[in-house]
Structure 1
Amino acid sequence: MQSYEVLVVDDSVFMRKIITDLISEDPQFKVIGAAKNGKQAVEMVKRLRPRVVTMDIEMPEMNGLDALQVIMTEQPTPVVMLSSLTQDGARETIIALERGAIDFIGKPSGSISLDLRKVQTALLEKLRVAVKADVTKFRVHQAPAWKPSVGPQHGTEAKQTITHEPRPIPTNPLNGQAPSQVKQVIAIGTSTGGPRALHQVISNIPAHLPAPIVIVQHMPPNFTKSLAQRLDSVSNVCVVEAKNGMILQNGVAYVAPGGFHMSVARNGTGSYKIHISKEEPRGGHRPSVDTLFESLLPFKELKRHIVLMTGMGSDGAKGMLALKNAGAVTTIAESEETCIVYGMPRAAVELNCVTHVLNQQDIAQKLAQAVLR
C-alpha cells in the first residue's frame, strides 16, 4: 500500500503528539515531521516535501494563515487546516480556504483536547482527499487587504481582513423589478475547494444582475455564515446566509446554511422564496446540491442557469441533468484544469448535461452574458 508523507504543524507539543498518533493509526499515512510554528513549517515543507500538511491557525512567530500563503507561493502543497469552532475560527478558516487550503477540521474543545479523537475519521478522510489534489496548477489568489501578521500575534491581521458588516438585503426593487418579477435564477453547487472558487466567481458578478443566485457549498454550520460575510465583503452583489422564507431578489446571492437543505419554492404572492429544512442528508450531504437543483424543476417559466464547480463525489450532477432535460438555459461545469478536486463537474460532464466547460476565471463572465442577453 502506498504511504503518504504528512507534516504536522501546531504550537502545542501535546497537540502535535495527539495529531501524529491519530494519523499514524492509518497505514496509508506516515508523519515525517512536526513544526511548532508557521515559520518552521515553511522551512520543513521546502526541505521534507511532504505530500500533505495539517496546519494550525493560531501560532507564534508566523501564524498558519501566513505560512499557508508562503507555502502556496513557494512550494505548493495540499494543506488541511485545524480550526477552532468559534466565530473567529470560522472567519479565519474561510480566508485559509481562499488562500489555497484544501479543507479543514474543527478542534472541538480548543488547542489542547483529547476530544480531537472524535474527529479522527473526518481528519483521515480529508487527508485522503488532499493527497489527490494537484495544487501546483493554481496561481495563488491574493486575498484582499492581506499582509503578514506582525510579531508573535496570533492571527491579528487575519481577523482584521475579514471584519465586515454585512450589507442589508435591498428593500427597494433592483432594476425596477419587484421580487415577484424575478425572471431568471442562477444556482451554484460546490464542495472541496469551493470557497476559493466562489470567491473567484461571485466577486466578478456585476452589480444589479437581474437574477438571484442560490448557492450550496458543502460546509458545516457557523462556517457558511462567515463564508457569506466574506463573499459579501468582496463582491458587487449582496451575499447573505439564507434563512427560511426569504424572498428571492435580483442581485442577491443566498448561501445555504450549513447543516440544512436549501430549496426554492413558490411564494403565495407569485414570487419565489427560500425553503430551509433538516431532512436526512443526501449522499452524505446536508446541504445537498441535488436538493437545490431539483427544487427548480417545476419553474419552467424561469430562465435557469446552473453551475457545478470543484468538489469530491457527484452531488448535483443528476440534478443538473434533470434541469437540462427540463429546459435549463445554461449548464456550466468547471474545467478539470482549475478544479481543486475534479469530481462533481466530471460527473456532470459524464452525464452529457453540460453546455459549457469553463475555467474558474471565465464562469462569472459567461453567467453575466447568459443572464443579460
Structure 2
Amino acid sequence: MQQPYDVLVVDDSVFMRKLISDFISEDPSLRVVGTAKNGKEAIELVKKFRPHAVTMDIEMPIMNGLEALRVIMKECPLPVIMLSSLTQEGASETIKALEWGAFDFVGKPSGSISLDLHKVKRLILEKLHAAVRTKMKRVSFSPEVLERQAPLPPPLSNPLLPRPVAARPPSAEPLSGRKLGPVQQLVAIGTSTGGPRALHQVLAHLPGELAAPVVIVQHMPPNFTKSLAIRLDSVSGLKVVEAEEGMVLENGAAYVAPGGFHMAVARNGSGGYRIHLSKDEPRGGHRPSVDALFESLLPLKELKRHIVIMTGMGSDGAKGMKALLDAGAVTTIAEAENTCIVYGMPRAAVELKGVTHVLPQQEIAGKLVAVVGAANLS
C-alpha cells in the first residue's frame, strides 16, 4: 500500500490551519506533516520535512506567502497551492504567485457561515491530488523580474522569436485606434493549471503588429481574469483586455474570457467579428470553457484559424481542436509535456490526433509569428 503524500499547511490564522488540516486529513491518501504560521516558518519546515505539496496563505506577518514562494521555488521547488482572498487585490497577488511558480490557487474561505465550505474542500483536495504527482522545476529570479516584473527572456535557440517588449503600465488607448487592417486570421488559446505563467511567456513575445486578434480562455473565476488581463497587457506588445460583450475583434489585440462566462466569436454583420459572452451551463465543470470558444470558430471558415492548447488538467479544448483541424484550421499547437505544469489538456488533444505541432512553451510564440505574420499599419 502506498504511503500517504505529505502536505504542509501554512496560514497565520489558527482557524484556517485547523480547517484546512481537517479537510486534508479526511483523505487517506494525504496527511498533514506540519503547519506553519508565516512564510519564514514555512521555508524551515519545507527544508525539514520535504513535503510533496504545500498550501500557502498569501497575507501573513514576518514573511508573506509570495516571499516564501520565491525562496521555495528557487531553493527546493515543490508544488505550492496558494490560498487567495476573492478580492481584486487578492487576485492581483495570486496572478503574481502563479507567474513565480505556484502550482495553482484556491479562493480562501472567509469563515462566513454561508460560505460553501464543501466546495472549497473539494477544490483543495482536487488540486492537491494533481500537485503531488507533479515534478516542479526550479525557478530563477533576477532583480529585474522581482522589482519590475519584466517578461521572461526569449530562448536563444529560436531566431523567429521576437524580443519581448519592455514592461509598461496598462494602456488606456482605445482598441479601435490601432488600425491594423481587416481581420483575416485568428489565434485562439486555451489553458488551465499553469496557464498564467505560460500565457506570460507566449504573449510577452508576440508583437503589437500581429496580423490577428488573440482570444484566450484561462480557467479562472471572476476578478482573477481581470487581473490576468491587466498583467498580460503590461508585458505584451499586444493590447490585452478582459473581454466584454460585443467587443469588435482587432488585429494586434488579445481578449481574455471573463471568469463565469463562456466566450464565443461571432460575425458582426459588417464583415468583422465580435465577442459574445453567455452564462450557459458549465462545460465539464468549466465556465469559461475552451471547447465552447473553439466550437464557436467552426463556422468561420473564411478565417485562417490558429489554435493552441497549453498546460492544464483534464481535456477541455481537445474535442474542439480536433473539430477545428477537420474543419480546415491552419495550425493546431499543443504544448509539449516537458514544459507543462500539468500535461492533461495538451495530452488529450494529441491523443485525439487534433494537433499539427507539439512545441515547448518557449517556442509557441515564434511559431505563431511565423504562421500569422505582421499586419500592415494604416
The two structures have a TM-score, normalised by structure 1, of 0.90
**Match status 1:172 vs 2:173:** no
For residues 193-219 of structure 1, the C-alpha deviation after alignment (integer angstroms, 9 at most, x for no partner) is 101100110111112111000000011
Distance in 1 (CA, whole Å) between partners of 2:16 and 2:234 is 34
Instruction: Map 1:185-224 onto structure 2 (within 5 A).
Output: 185-224=186-225
* Structure 1: gaps of 5 or more residues: 149-161
Distance 1:89 1:286, change over 3 A: same
Distance in 2 (CA, whole Å) between partners of 1:113 and 1:356 is 48
For residues 7-29 of structure 1, the C-alpha deviation after alignment (integer angstroms, 9 at most, x for no partner) is 00111222212211121111111
* 2:96 matched residue in structure 1: 95
Say if 2:92 and 2:228, in contact at 8 Å, map to a contact too: yes
* 1:117 matched residue in structure 2: 117
Distance in 2 (CA, whole Å) between partners of 1:93 and 1:205 is 24
Distance 1:73 1:113, change over 3 A: farther
Distance 1:116 1:43, change over 3 A: farther
* 1:358 matched residue in structure 2: 359
* 1:342 matched residue in structure 2: 343
Say if 2:208 and 2:253, in contact at 8 Å, map to a contact too: no
Distance in 1 (CA, whole Å) between partners of 2:105 and 2:373 is 37
* Structure 2: gaps of 5 or more residues: 149-166
For residues 124-158 of structure 1, the C-alpha deviation after alignment (integer angstroms, 9 at most, x for no partner) is 1111111122113x54466965259xxxxxxxxxx
Distance 1:185 1:266, change over 3 A: same
- Tell me how far 1:70 sits from its aligned partner: 0.8
Say if 1:167 and 1:232, in contact at 8 Å, map to a contact too: no
Distance in 2 (CA, whole Å) between partners of 1:142 and 1:267 is 45
- Aligned to 1:337, the other structure's residue is in SS state helix
Say if 2:333 and 2:356, in contact at 8 Å, map to a contact too: yes
Instruction: Map 1:16-35 onto structure 2 (within 5 A).
Output: 16-35=17-36
For residues 35-81 of structure 1, the C-alpha deviation after alignment (integer angstroms, 9 at most, x for no partner) is 11111111111111000000000111211001111101100010100
* 1:316 matched residue in structure 2: 317
Say if 1:164 and 1:233, in contact at 8 Å, map to a contact too: yes
Say if 1:83 and 1:106, in contact at 8 Å, map to a contact too: yes
Say if 2:333 and 2:358, in contact at 8 Å, map to a contact too: yes
The residue identity in structure 2 corresponding to 1:286 is: R
- Aligned to 1:327, the other structure's residue is in SS state coil
Distance in 1 (CA, whole Å) between partners of 2:289 and 2:366 is 26
Distance 1:116 1:294, change over 3 A: closer
Instruction: Map 1:49-64 onto structure 2 (within 5 A).
Output: 49-64=50-65
- Tell me how far 1:290 sits from its aligned partner: 0.7
The residue identity in structure 2 corresponding to 1:359 is: P
- Aligned to 1:11, the other structure's residue is in SS state coil
Say if 2:109 and 2:117, in contact at 8 Å, map to a contact too: no
Say if 2:295 and 2:320, in contact at 8 Å, map to a contact too: yes
- Aligned to 2:83, the other structure's residue is in SS state strand
Say if 1:100 and 1:140, in contact at 8 Å, map to a contact too: no
Distance 1:134 1:13, change over 3 A: same
For residues 188-241 of structure 1, the C-alpha deviation after alignment (integer angstroms, 9 at most, x for no partner) is 000011011001101111121110000000111111000000101111111000
Which deviates further from its counterpart, 122-131 or 302-311?
122-131
Say if 2:100 and 2:139, in contact at 8 Å, map to a contact too: no
Which deviates further from its counterpart, 327-336 or 165-174?
165-174
**Match status 1:300 vs 2:301:** yes
* 2:159 matched residue in structure 1: none
Indicate the RMSD between aligned Cα atoms, in angstroms.
Answer: 2.0
The two structures have a TM-score, normalised by structure 2, of 0.89
Instruction: Map 1:38-49 onto structure 2 (within 5 A).
Output: 38-49=39-50
- Tell me how far 1:353 sits from its aligned partner: 1.7
